[in-house]
Amino acid sequence: MTGFNRRTAVATLGALAMLSAVPALAQDYPTRAITIIVPFAAGGPTDVVTRLVSEHMSKTLGQPIVVENVVGAGGTTGATRAARATNDGYTLIMGHVGTHAASVALYPKLAYDPRTDFEPIALINGAAIVVAAKKDLPPKDFKEFVAYLKANEAKLNQAHAGVGAVSYITCELLNGIVGIKPVGVPFQGTGPAMNALVAGQVDYMCDQITNVVPQVNGGTIKAYAVAIPERSASLPDTPTSAEGGLPSYQASAWNALFAPKGTPKAIVEKLNAAAAKALDDEKVIARMKELGNDIPKPEQRKSEALGKLVKDEVEKWGKFLKPVG
């Protein structure tokens, strides 16, 4: 074989290998550990739900799933990292209504667009928002709490997980209805924010029920109201916002899995199927429900349904939130 021919043969073999590598990549996926970015601190609601669901997904997919907490800027630091990650199915993100909807309105220079820079994989949960306060805050019930907010606005500290976090946007909604502007105290997630609430270092916050149930059961904080139409079976003694005299305060959150834009469709489908299977597992369902989470119905779990939800939510929050800074 001449040098020319040898080179040609090597080049041809290389091209063939590349051609067959494309379908093999998706077919064999996953062949190594997958990372799910949680854009908030460990121990918070996004982290808890991610670890619960990913443990089951890992069994289905036959590979470990590593949860990486990439914190900062109300979850947008982690979401930016995920949007820029290699789109091979090995880096995913557990986003939520903040990172993947409300942030668009809050950050005019957001480094990603949740509508176009991700492949939606699956909606994972719905979670009511609970208005929680430190144990020794004086008001006895939600009505008194609202009056207390009005009377003590200047000296109240409201914890949140950064501009764009669920705890930020849903308390903005509450504060707007009540007509107050308390001092906001940012944390890297509502895991650490909850620790501060338990320690009495901050006065109140609005958080996913997931994070509130264990504390209410342990008697470490007060839960004044759930901001959904009916009481939650996980917090049966906590009245609704309507029962507490503020029916216009309705707020809930969701978490969902996303992959960077351009992740092969076959991989997205595999991940979607693994997520859906986790949400059908009795143990996963029992723990999710114990923590007050709603499990999305099969039609809500589809990738396309999540894509539509993101678009609708960006629009919804855009009507209410103004750019910050």
Q: Which residues bind ligand ASP (CB under 6 A)?
A: 40-41, 44-47, 96, 98, 161, 165-167, 189-191, 207-208
- Min separation Cβ 53 and ligand ASP, Å: 14
Question: Measured between alpha carbons, how far is residue 48 from residues 44, 66, 120, 210, 233 in Å?
Answer: 6, 13, 20, 8, 19
- Min separation Cβ 62 and ligand ASP, Å: 28
Task: Using the minimum distance from each CB to ligand ASP, give the nearer residue, 91 or 167.
Answer: 167
Residue of minimal Cβ distance to ligand ASP: 44
- Min separation Cβ 116 and ligand ASP, Å: 22
Task: Using the minimum distance from each CB to ligand ASP, give the nearer residue, 188 or 263.
Answer: 188
CA–CA dist 244, 166 (Å, integer): 22
Q: Which residues pair with 157 in a beta bridge?
A: 183
Task: Using the minimum distance from each CB to ligand ASP, give the nearer residue, 167 or 240.
Answer: 167
CA–CA dist 167, 283 (Å, integer): 28
H or E stretch covering 131: strand 118-134
Question: Measured between alpha carbons, how far is residue 124 from residues 95, 110, 200 in Å?
Answer: 10, 24, 32
Task: Using the minimum distance from each CB to ligand ASP, give the nearer residue, 72 or 245.
Answer: 72
**CA 290 to centroid of chain Cα atoms:** 18
CA–CA dist 56, 280 (Å, integer): 10
Count of other CB atoms within 10 angstroms of residue 257: 27
If you ran DSSP here, which 8-state letter would residue 240 be given?
A: B
- Min separation Cβ 102 and ligand ASP, Å: 10
User: Per the structure block, which two tokens stand in for 131?
Assistant: 């208005």
- Min separation Cβ 73 and ligand ASP, Å: 12
Task: Using the minimum distance from each CB to ligand ASP, give the nearer residue, 190 or 263.
Answer: 190
- Min separation Cβ 10 and ligand ASP, Å: 51
Task: Using the minimum distance from each CB to ligand ASP, give the nearer residue, 156 or 251.
Answer: 251
